[in-house]
Amino acid sequence: MFSLTSCLYISAFLFSTGVYGVLGRRNILVVLMSLELMLNAVNLALVAFGRAYAAQDLAAAHTGQIFALMVIAVAAAEAAVGLSIVLLVWRRWQSIDVRDLCRMHG
Partner 1 sequence: MDFNPSLLALIPILPLIGFVLNGCFGNRMGRQFVSIVGCALPITSFVIAFRAFQALRGSESEAIRHTLFEWIHVGSFQVDMAFTFDGLSAVMCLVVTGIGSLIHLYSTGYMRGDKSYARFFAYLNLFTAFMLMLVLGDNLLVLFVGWEGVGLCSYLLIGFWHEDAANCDAGRKAFIFNRVGDLGFLIGVFLIFTLFGSVNFAEILVGVESISDVTAPASSLNSAMPMWGTVAIGTLITAITLCLFVGATGKSAQIPLFPWLPDAMAGPTPVSALIHAATMVTSGVYLCCRLMPLFSLSPQTLGVIAAIGACTALLAALIALSQTDIKKVLAYSTVSQLGYMFFAIGMGAYSAALFHVVTHAFFKALLFLGSGSVIHAMHHEQDMRKMGGLRRQLPFTHLIFIIGTLAIAGVPFFSGFFSKDEILFSGFFAAFHGHDGHVHFQDQLFWGMATLTAGLTAFYMLRMVALTFWGKSNVDDKLVDHVHEPGGWMPFSLAVLAVLSVFGGILNVPELLHWLPFVGEERTFLLGNFTGLHHAHTGIDLDALHKLEWTSLIISVGVGATGLAAAWYLYGPGRALLDGFVNGAGKKLVRISENKFYIDEVYQILIVTPFQFASYVMFILIDRFLIDGVMVGGSALVVRSFGEFFRRMQSGFVPAYLLTFGCGALVLLFIMMSLLNGAG
Partner 2 sequence: MPINLVSADYAAILPAVILIATGLAVLIADLFVTDDGYDNPSSEKSHLVWIGVCGAALAFAALFVPSGLLFGAWSENGVASGSEVVFLGALRLDAFGGFAAAIIIVAAGLTTLSSGGYLAAQGQNRGEFYGLVYLGGGAMVLLAQATNLISIFVAIETLSLTVYVLAGFFRKWKLGAEGAAKYFILGAFSSGFLLLGMAFVYGATGEISLAALGKSTADPYLMNVGLLLILVGFGFKVGAVPFHSWVPDAYQGAPATAAGWMAVAVKVCSFAALIRVVVAAGQGGVADAAIGKMLAALAVVTMVLGNLAALNQTNIKRMLAYSGIAHSGYLLIPVVLAFQGTPDPKVGAGALFYLVAYLLMTIGAFTVVAMVSNGDTDREELESYNGLAKRQPFVAFAMTVSLLSLAGMPGTVGFLGKLTIFKDAVYSGPYLYLAFVGILASLVSVYYYLRPIVAMYFREEGETIEIVENNWGVKLTLVLTSFGTIALFFCGKSVHELSVRSIQSITG
User: In angstroms, what CA-CA distances link 101 with 22, 39, 50, 79, 106?
Assistant: 15, 24, 40, 20, 14
Among 7, 19, 33, 52, binds partner 1 (CB under 8 A): 19
Among 7, 8, 22, 52, binds partner 1 (CB under 8 A): 22
Tell whether residue 14 is a contact of partner 2 (CB under 8 A). Answer: no
Whichever of 10 and 71 has its CB closer to partner 2, that residue is 71
Q: How far is the CB of 10 from partner 2 (least distance, A)?
A: 13
Stretch that binds partner 1, among 1-9, 42-50, 57-65, 97-105 (CB under 8 A): 97-105
CA pair distance 29, 74, nearest whole angstrom: 18
Enumerate residues 53-82 that contact partner 2 by CB under 8 A: 53, 56, 58-60, 63-64, 66-67, 70-71, 74, 77-78, 81-82
CA pair distance 50, 67, nearest whole angstrom: 9
CA pair distance 14, 93, nearest whole angstrom: 31
**Count of residues in contact with partner 1, rule CB under 8 A:** 12
CA pair distance 84, 36, nearest whole angstrom: 15
